[in-house]
């Protein structure tokens, strides 16, 4: 790496540290009833969040961020990588439409995220041939548009692209099957002063390994730390982060800056996903960030984006039911627990933090649908042959991810499970009467069926333009004609 490239890396690092202080947040939009973008932008401001990471280039979201003072990482979905990799003109057009125009209109775009975890082992190599060429073409388009000093192209990568055969961070290296590709990408990032973006999830370590030590996932001490030479690691975040640092150093790229693109803890959908553990993790991480100490191999400020800002009830649950519950705010913007996100931001935000204690600040004047719910008729026999296919249909087309072993709704009996499924579908369909039919099994009630731990939600009134009603509403009068091979187990 020549002196010019080294200078570029230093300038980029200074910008990451000085221009984007404080915690960022991932703002996903896979929700049936999303909050208005202007409302979410105000939530970001009220909570001192100065950076937003997006997964696409939604016009409503980007327009709402104009002149907000919030720095933006705009995303390119994986399904666009092939076209951007094969046609540099397509990349030029994408940058012109989704970066240049918005920068001109006052959106402070700092990064373009080219793909999202494209090298996940579960993708079976689907994006191995297209990610790097797409990255090159997007960066070239940014250069041609005169934006390369402000906007950098990066690739958010899952932490599975690196590892250590010994378990010690100092032995970190990139995954053997993509090693050469990773070195090409890292060199390109370094040459262009762009950061390496890694998504680090201690929760997933715990979820995938029943023998994983629980305390090691958090930041408040672990009785059997990893000793790596003169360094002792008491939490898996530092160890994981430094495994990446070691991988970069081992291959001659120790000066490349690092962004933690996603980090967080879900609140439902798994036995280890609850509000208590999520608060413990996020508080610990915020304290870690606030200390400014960094990690043993990379001292200094940590640049990170919490995953995520708000729950998304339309995310894929293929990885697990917890996928719809990563938000520090619920679907309606209500805070789930106390958490201070303003401790590393500006002096103004610090004063606001002191004034608001450690409470998250939710939106104001949210309008909900009517206070009514769809439930199973109490006189219906649980042996009715229509129940299983009806519940299957409701859960496949709505959100039943809070049902299951040791989830927030695990206290429900069989009737409660059925009613929860019916209500989820009913609410998602804006309380349309046709959405509470289920072959005559269901009825609308004004009595709240919620329990002390399980809330039967009422959706926000998001307006016809953004609500589920704007999509095709399946006529439930035909439900009994549909045969679904799904077996439903009631807890």
> Which residues participate in catalysis according to the annotation?
117, 262
Cβ pair 222, 231 in contact under 8 A:
no
In sequence order, the 6+-apart residues with CB closer than 8 A to the CB of 122 are none
**Token pair in block for residue 459:** 């959706």
Residue that is written with structure tokens 């993509």 in the block: 178
Peptide bond into 308 cis (omega under 30): yes
**Token pair in block for residue 203:** 């929760």
Please give the Cα distance from 109 to 486 (Å, whole number).
Answer: 45
The DSSP letter of residue 199 is E
Please give the Cα distance from 472 to 475 (Å, whole number).
Answer: 9
Q: How far apart are the first and last CA of the chain?
A: 59
Q: Give buried/exposed letters for 425-445 (b at 16+ CB in 10 A, else e).
A: bbbbbbbeeebbbbbebbbbb
Cβ pair 112, 154 in contact under 8 A:
yes
Please give the Cα distance from 139 to 134 (Å, whole number).
Answer: 9
Q: Which of 360, 450, 381 is nearest to 411 (CA)?
A: 450
In sequence order, the 6+-apart residues with CB closer than 8 A to the CB of 373 are 419, 423, 426, 427, 444, 445, 446, 447, 448, 449, 456, 458
């Amino acid at each position: 790496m020549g002196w010019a490239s080294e200078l570029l890396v230093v300038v980029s690092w200074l910008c990451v540290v000085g221009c984007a202080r404080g915690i960022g947040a991932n703002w996903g939009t896979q929700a049936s009833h999303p909050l208005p973008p202007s409302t979410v932008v105000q939530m970001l401001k009220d909570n001192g969040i100065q950076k937003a990471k997006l997964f696409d280039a939604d016009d409503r979201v980007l327009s709402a961020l104009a002149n907000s003072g919030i720095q933006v990482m705009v995303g390119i979905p994986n399904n666009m990588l092939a076209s951007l990799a094969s046609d540099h003109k397509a990349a030029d057009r994408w940058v012109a439409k989704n970066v240049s125009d918005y920068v001109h209109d006052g959106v402070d775009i700092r990064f373009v995220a080219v793909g999202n975890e494209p090298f996940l082992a579960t993708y079976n190599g689907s994006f191995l041939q297209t990610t790097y060429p797409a990255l090159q073409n997007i960066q070239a388009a940014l250069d041609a548009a005169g934006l390369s000093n402000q906007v950098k192209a990066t690739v958010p990568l899952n932490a599975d692209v690196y590892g250590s055969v010994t378990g010690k961070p100092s032995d970190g290296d990139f995954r053997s099957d993509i090693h050469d590709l990773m070195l090409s990408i890292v060199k390109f990032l370094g040459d262009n002063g762009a950061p390496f973006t890694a998504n680090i999830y201690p929760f997933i370590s715990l979820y995938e390994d029943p023998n994983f030590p629980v305390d090691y996932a958090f930041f408040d001490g672990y009785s059997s730390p990893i000793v790596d030479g003169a360094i002792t690691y008491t939490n898996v975040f530092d160890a994981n982060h430094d495994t990446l640092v070691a991988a970069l150093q081992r291959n001659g790229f120790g000066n490349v800056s690092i962004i933690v693109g996603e980090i967080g803890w879900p609140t439902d959908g798994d036995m280890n996903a609850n509000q208590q553990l999520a608060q413990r993790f996020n508080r610990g991480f915020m304290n870690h960030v606030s200390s400014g100490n960094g990690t043993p191999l990379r001292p200094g400020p940590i640049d990170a984006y919490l995953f995520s800002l708000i729950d998304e009830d339309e995310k894929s649950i293929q990885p697990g039911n917890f996928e719809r519950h990563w938000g520090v705010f619920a679907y309606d913007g209500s805070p789930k627990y106390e958490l201070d996100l303003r401790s590393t931001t500006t002096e103004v935000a610090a004063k606001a933090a002191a004034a608001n204690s450690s409470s998250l600040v939710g939106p104001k004047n949210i309008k909900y649908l009517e206070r009514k719910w769809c439930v199973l008729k109490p006189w219906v026999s649980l042996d009715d042959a229509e129940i299983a296919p009806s519940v299957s249909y409701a859960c496949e087309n709505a959100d039943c991810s809070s049902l299951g072993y040791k989830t927030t709704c695990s206290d429900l009996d069989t009737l409660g499970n059925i009613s929860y499924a019916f209500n989820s579908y009913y609410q998602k369909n804006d309380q349309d009467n046709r959405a509470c039919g289920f072959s005559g099994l269901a009825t609308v009630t004004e009595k709240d069926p919620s329990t002390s731990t399980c809330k039967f939600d009422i959706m926000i009134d998001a307006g016809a333009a953004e609500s589920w009603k704007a999509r095709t509403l399946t006529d439930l009068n035909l439900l009994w004609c549909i045969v679904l091979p799904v077996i439903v187990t009631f807890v």
